[in-house]
Amino acid sequence: MIRSRMIQVVSAVMFVGFMSFFFASTASAQQSAQQTTAGAKRTVLEQKDLSVTGYEGVLVRTELAPGATEPMHTHPGDFFAYVLEGTITLTREGQETVKRKAGEVFFVPAGIVHGASNEGTTTAKLLVTFFVEKGKPLTTPVK
């Protein structure tokens, strides 16, 4: 029962994420929250409570400028990412470093230390759907 409900919630979050991407307007982009870190920009497109108590879904557009690095960090929940444009190098604790290019996806579980960089010559753009604990910071840097 719990597993079935979790699958439904994750499916709904992914569906909302992709639908929001296709219907995001200039007005909603202007109203969205933004976080910027030295060549990395994160724009929250949508943030809603989920049917799982204590969790929320957060749809984010992330951009990494050429040469930019998103330092090692964690999130208080799982996320799925879809690379819209460019190529990123993804580092995840305990796993091999991999490259992901436009059209590819990746998943990072809650609490896993990870980071990304753009070694290319064009801005890398990603659409990220977070399934996170409500009230916790979306990103926690790792020192």
Q: Quick: pLDDT tens for 66-101.
A: 999 999 999 999 999 999 999 999 999 999 999 999
Distance (Å, whole) CA 89 – CA 104: 12
Q: What is the pLDDT of residue 60?
A: 97
Distance (Å, whole) CA 20 – CA 23: 5
Return all residues near 7 (Cβ < 8 A) that are at least 6 apart: none
Q: What is the pLDDT of residue 37?
A: 62
How many independent structural domains does the chain possess?
1
User: Which residue range is the domain that position 128 belongs to?
Assistant: 2-141
Residue 55: give its domain's CATH number: 2.60.120.10
